[in-house]
C-alpha cells in the first residue's frame, strides 16, 4: 500500500507541476492581453510562447503546412513543437502525455477523486452507451483530420497561417473565456457534472486530441505486460485503470485507451505480475516511462528554443493592427 501511495503521489506531483506551469502561462498571457487591450497602458508586452499549446487546431494546420511544404509554422512555432512532441511521446510511451502532462487530464482525475468521497459507489456508463460515446472523440478527430489534411492543400494551409485571425487565435481563445456566453457556461457545467458522475468523461468520450494520441500510442513499442503465471486474478488492476480496461484478462495492454498511468502496476499485490516494458525489454523499470517521457519533452522544448522554433514572428505592431478587427 505504501509503495502504491508513493508512486501515485509521484505522478500527482508531476501533474501538479504542469498544471501550475499552465496557470503561470495563463496569468502571463492575461497580462499580455491587458497590454494589447489598453494599448500599452497596463499589463506587460511579454507573450508566453507556450500558450500556443492551447490552440491545437492551429498546430494541426501548421503540421499540414510543414508536411506539405517543409516550412515550420513561424506564426505559432511553439504550438507546433508541443503538438509534435506530444505525438512523439505518445508513440514512444503510449498515451502518457494525457496521464502525466495534460492539465485537463489531471483536472478530470481530480474531479473523480473528489466526487468519490461523496457518491456512494463508483458509477460506470452502461456497456452500449459507453461504446457509442467512445466513438464521438474519433468522429471529431476524423472531421478535423479530414477538413485539414484532405480539405486543404499544403499551400492553402500555409496561407491560412498568415491570415489575421490565425495570428490572433490565442487572443480570441482568451476572449472567449473572459466573455463566456450563457451557452458556454451551460456546456462547461454539463461537462463538469458528467465528469463528477463518470470518471474521465471528457477524456474518454469527447477529446479529439486524446483520440489522436491514443491511436499513435496504439502502435507504440512500449506496453504493459501481464505474466499469467504470477497473476492471482484479484482484479485490483481493473479497479485502478483510468482507461476502464480489463487488464486482468489481457496478456499485453495495447489498447488506444491505455494512457500509461501505471496505476495497474502499482496496485498489483504480486511483484512482477504486471510490468511496463519497451520493445519487450527493460521490463519492471516503473520509473523508466515518466523519466524518459519527461526527458524527451524537455529536450524537444530546449531544441525549439535554441533553433528558433519557439518564438512567434508576429510583431506587436501586427497585433495592435489586427486586434480591433475582432
Q: Reply yes or no on whether the pLDDT at 195 is more than 80.
A: yes
DSSP state of 281: B
pLDDT digits (tens, 9 = 90+) for 204-227: 999 999 999 999 999 999 888 898
* Model pLDDT, residue 242: 85
Instruction: Give the C-alpha separation, 325 to 212, whole Å.
Output: 33
Q: Which of 7-16, 141-150, 173-182, 276-285 has the lowest mean pLDDT?
A: 276-285
For residue 57, what pLDDT is reported?
A: 94
Q: Across-strand partners of 278?
A: 222, 281
Tally the C-alpha atoms within 13 A of residue 157's C-alpha that lie toward its C-beta. Answer: 27
pLDDT band at 65 (very low <50, low <70, confident <90, very high): very high
- Reported confidence tier of residue 64, pLDDT bands at 50, 70, 90: very high
pLDDT tens-digit series, residues 230-239: 999 999 999 8
Output the pLDDT for position 115: 78
pLDDT tens digits, residue range 243-252? 889 999 888 8
Q: Say what percent of the chain tops pLDDT 90.
A: 68
pLDDT, mean over the chain? 90
Strands 274-278 and 222-226: antiparallel
- What pTM, to 2 d.p., does this model score? 0.92
Helices (H), the chain: 2-37, 56-69, 77-93, 96, 103-116, 127-145, 154-162, 164-167, 169-178, 182-197, 201, 208-218, 236-240, 263-267, 288-307, 316-322
Least confident of 39-53, 281-295, 303-317: 281-295
Note the pLDDT of residue 8: 63
Please say if the pLDDT value at position 122 is more than 70.
no
Residue 20 neighbours by CB distance under 10 Å: 11
Confidence of residue 119 (pLDDT cuts 50, 70, 90): low
Local confidence band at 4 (pLDDT 50, 70, 90 cut-offs): very low
Is the pLDDT at 3 greater than 50, yes or no? no
Please count the other Cβ atoms lying within 10 Å of the Cβ belonging to residue 129.
10
* The predicted structure's pLDDT at residue 301: 96
Residue 165 near residue 326, CB atoms below 8 Å = yes
Q: Which tens digits make up the pLDDT trace of 132-141?
A: 999 999 999 9
Contact 174, 47 (CB under 8 A): no
Cell of 281: 525489454
Q: What is the pLDDT of residue 187?
A: 94
Stretch 263-284: mean pLDDT: 82
Residue 194 has pLDDT above 60, yes or no: yes
Mean pLDDT of 95-112: 91
Over residues 138-163, mean pLDDT: 96
Amino acid at each position: 500500500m505504501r509503495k502504491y501511495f508513493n508512486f501515485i503521489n509521484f505522478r500527482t506531483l508531476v501533474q501538479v507541476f504542469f498544471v501550475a506551469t499552465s496557470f503561470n502561462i495563463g496569468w502571463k498571457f492575461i497580462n499580455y492581453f491587458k497590454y494589447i487591450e489598453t494599448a500599452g497602458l497596463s499589463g506587460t508586452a511579454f507573450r508566453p510562447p507556450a500558450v500556443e499549446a492551447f490552440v491545437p487546431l492551429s498546430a494541426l494546420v501548421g503540421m499540414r503546412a510543414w508536411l506539405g511544404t517543409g516550412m515550420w509554422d513561424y506564426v505559432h512555432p511553439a504550438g507546433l513543437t508541443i503538438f509534435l512532441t506530444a505525438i512523439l511521446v505518445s508513440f514512444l510511451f503510449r498515451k502518457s502525455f494525457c496521464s502525466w502532462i495534460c492539465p485537463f487530464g489531471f483536472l478530470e482525475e481530480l474531479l473523480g477523486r473528489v466526487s468519490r468521497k461523496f457518491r456512494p459507489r463508483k458509477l460506470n456508463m452502461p456497456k452500449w452507451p459507453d461504446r457509442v460515446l467512445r466513438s464521438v472523440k474519433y468522429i471529431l478527430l476524423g472531421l478535423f483530420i479530414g477538413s485539414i489534411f484532405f480539405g486543404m492543400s499544403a499551400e492553402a494551409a500555409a496561407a491560412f497561417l498568415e491570415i489575421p485571425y490565425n495570428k490572433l487565435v490565442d487572443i480570441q481563445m482568451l476572449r472567449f473565456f473572459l466573455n463566456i456566453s450563457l451557452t458556454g457556461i451551460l456546456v462547461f457545467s454539463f461537462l463538469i457534472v458528467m465528469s463528477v458522475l463518470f470518471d474521465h468523461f471528457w477524456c474518454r468520450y469527447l477529446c479529439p486530441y486524446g483520440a489522436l494520441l491514443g491511436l499513435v500510442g496504439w502502435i507504440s513499442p512500449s506496453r504493459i505486460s501481464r505474466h499469467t503465471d504470477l497473476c492471482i486474478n484479484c482484479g485490483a488492476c481493473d479497479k485502478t485503470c483510468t482507461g476502464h480496461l480489463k487488464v486482468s484478462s489481457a496478456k499485453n495492454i495495447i489498447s488506444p485507451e491505455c494512457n500509461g498511468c501505471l496505476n495497474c502496476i502499482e496496485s498489483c499485490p504480486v511483484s512482477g505480475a504486471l510490468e511496463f516494458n519497451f520493445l519487450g525489454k527493460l521490463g519492471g523499470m516503473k520509473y523508466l516511462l515518466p523519466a524518459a517521457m519527461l526527458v524527451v519533452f524537455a529536450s524537444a522544448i530546449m531544441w525549439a528554443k535554441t533553433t528558433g522554433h519557439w518564438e512567434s514572428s508576429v510583431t506587436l505592431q501586427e497585433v495592435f493592427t489586427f486586434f480591433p478587427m475582432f
